[in-house]
Structure 1
Amino acid sequence: MSRVSPEYGEDVARRLLASAATLSYDPATEVDWDEPLDPSLYGLNPEWSTLYGTALWDEMSEEQRITLTRHEVSSIMSTGIWFEMILQQMVLRDQYAKEHSTAEFRFALTEIADECRHSIMFSRACEKMDANGYFPNRLSVEAGRIFAGTATGEISYAGILVAEEVLDVMQRDWMRGENVLPLVRTTSKIHVVEESRHMKFARQEIRERMDGVGAGRRYRSGVVIAVAANIIVSNMVNKRVYAAAGLDTKRALAEAKSNPHRKAMMRSSCVHLMEFLSESGLLSKTAMAIYKRVDMI
């Protein structure tokens, strides 16, 4: 049986629904929202900080490092909320007026429900860390509005996959980090477990949409997906996080941009994503050039 047949896709959706029924979390009760924040713990593993390994990092006090990582993780969570709102619109549009009796339809709605809970969870976490107000730049917000209203087929599901795959690798480290806040470890665990189903669903949807597609559409879709990825990754860490840690923003931005450690960590988080996009025919030379701009390849 073809891996992209409707029967195989329905089987994947049924298995994901069964998984969701047995292993899902309610952040309202799973996260200890009343636990005080330990002042000695980071917001994310220091190795994932944009400044880790730089001269500026070596000059920073421990308090500044902790403050920076808490604001960095809050900025990443805020970007997650932004894209999850885009994601929900795309999935709703894709499932609009489709056959209601399929497992695909039911899992798509399950995914939307998960994303709503995740956004609320991230919102509360940012508030708890007193690091609210991080948003993508205005141009990106408007680009996201257009993407949410127009992206279809493999473009919409690959956009979802890009955002979730990059965050997944980071959060798998955060959830195991003994020097990371329990708040971040728990929210990361919830997101990793539930998003693993979303990523499997997105991969299957992409396989189905790309089955028998010509070279021209593969090229165009691949470039659009790469542009969307560029926008998402460029907005993950807001430049205002540096001022929040008492740093010179201009110097911090320059060191973060040229930081070889940060570049290596980003590339490592995208290895499996790039392999899948290549297998799907969505990784042309033009797309690769766009990914390289944000160190995804």
Structure 2
Amino acid sequence: MEERVANGHQVDTRSTAHFLHDYASEQADLRRLYEQAKIDQWNAATDIEWAAPLEGDGGLISDDLVDIHGTRFWDAMSEADRVELNHRITRWRLSTLVQGEHGAMLLCSQLVDCVQGQDAKLFQATQVADEARHNEVLQRYLELRLDGETYGLGGNVKEIFDTLLSTSSWYLKTIGLQLVAETFAVSLFRMLAESSKDPVLRQVCRRILQDEARHMGFAMLSLPEIVGQATEAEHREMEDFAVWALSRTLGGIFPLGAYQDMGFGKAELDEIKQFRRERAAGGDETAFRKYFRRDLHDGLVRNLRKVGLLTERITPSLQSFGIKLAA
């Protein structure tokens, strides 16, 4: 049962804490991942060049990532309004990410309890710290570059984390977070690290990307054994959960508030949404969007196959999401 609380919401959770009495290392690969996590720690307050000036026209992300770029709407805007829309789209995108990183921090704190094995627990403790740092660094960026304003919690983000937080099984949590969401995050932060106009945002994304790749590695190391030992019913449950997580993660949300703040009306927004759908369906996307989609889909196919969840049963669902299985 969910309850609203001030400046947020409450999710009732249920999990089993495994309190170990033997702390010897049993999984060498996970212990190496933990050791790497300790080496890779960084400080959001001091390891980013926050004072670096903006470059170019003052935009933050590539204009290619603004839906109306190259359309009649874009052509009709003044240069100042284009930069303002760029900033608002960036604010919307980073608001969604900072919310996701906060949800991941809460979820990983649960995983410290419910994963079994010393090495898994130690690694999950480092991921709690990582997600806290990502939450901090993205919020700090919003405050320093975008006056601290944020957009509200996106529908898909809320549903994803409410479901993962209330799920009792550690391996379903891991499928939803480290397998699906982290694979998405790796491709997204990689694209932003390469394409953003702001050198500070590029630094932030490169730092986060280093951590996200390691988080994805936890799924690659922890899931194959549990998937391989699952009963037929358990395997179907894992497959279905992966498909659900993919549908919510890939479904995305439209930056409605950003366009409304710029004065776009309903008819214009409907046209922009239709243009966005047609462009994606026809493969007529900009270079950075194509790069992101190809990188993401290849990563999802590779990782689902590696952990043993890429089956004929879920193939139709993956294809319905536009994922090609030739990777």
Find the partner of 1:78 among 58, 72, 95.
95
Pick closer, same or farther for the CA change 1:147–1:97 going to 2, 3 Å: closer
The Cα of 1:27 is off from its aligned counterpart by 1.2
CA distance in 1, matches of 2:85, 2:320: 24
* Alignment correspondent of 1:4: none
> Structure 1 stretches of 5 or more lacking a match?
1-6
CA distance in 1, matches of 2:28, 2:210: 20
The 5 Å alignment of 1:1-297 reads 10-38=27-55, 40-52=57-69, 54=71, 56-57=73-74, 59-96=76-113, 102-127=118-143, 128-130=145-147, 132-138=149-155, 141-142=158-159, 144-150=161-167, 152-160=169-177, 161-177=179-195, 180-235=197-252, 237-247=254-264, 248-260=268-280, 261=285, 264-265=290-291, 267-268=293-294, 269-284=296-311, 287-291=314-318, 295=322
CA shift digits 1:171-210 (9 cap, x unpaired): 2232233x61122111101101111111111221222321
CA distance in 2, matches of 1:287, 1:60: 44
Q: CA RMSD in A?
A: 3.2
Q: Is the 8 A contact 1:43 1:71 kept in 2?
A: no
Runs of 4+ in 1 over 6 A off after TM superposition: 97-100
* Alignment correspondent of 2:9: none
Give the count of matched residue pairs.
289
| TM-score when normalising by structure 1 | 0.80
> Structure 2 stretches of 5 or more lacking a match?
1-23
Secondary structure at 1:175 match in 2: helix
Larger-gyration structure (1/2):
2
Opposite residue 275 of structure 2, the aligned amino acid is E
CA shift digits 1:218-271 (9 cap, x unpaired): 232222222223223434553222234444433222222222316745531221
The Cα of 1:40 is off from its aligned counterpart by 1.0
The Cα of 1:168 is off from its aligned counterpart by 1.7
Q: Which structure exhibits the higher relative contact order, with contacts defined as CA atoms closer than 8 Å and separated by 6 or more residues?
A: 1
Instruction: Pick the structure with more helix per residue.
Output: 1
CA distance in 2, matches of 1:54, 1:278: 39
Secondary structure at 2:42 match in 1: coil
Opposite residue 79 of structure 1, the aligned amino acid is T
Pick closer, same or farther for the CA change 1:43–1:155 going to 2, 3 Å: farther
The Cα of 1:52 is off from its aligned counterpart by 4.5
CA distance in 2, matches of 1:98, 1:285: 29
Q: Is the 8 A contact 2:180 2:300 kept in 1?
A: yes
Q: Is the 8 A contact 1:136 1:235 kept in 2?
A: no
| TM-score when normalising by structure 2 | 0.74
Q: Is the 8 A contact 1:90 1:149 kept in 2?
A: no
Pick closer, same or farther for the CA change 1:61–1:288 going to 2, 3 Å: farther
Pick closer, same or farther for the CA change 1:8–1:21 going to 2, 3 Å: closer
* Alignment correspondent of 1:3: none
Secondary structure at 2:229 match in 1: coil
CA distance in 2, matches of 1:208, 1:60: 55
Pick closer, same or farther for the CA change 1:130–1:278 going to 2, 3 Å: same
Identity of aligned residues (%): 20
The Cα of 1:84 is off from its aligned counterpart by 2.6
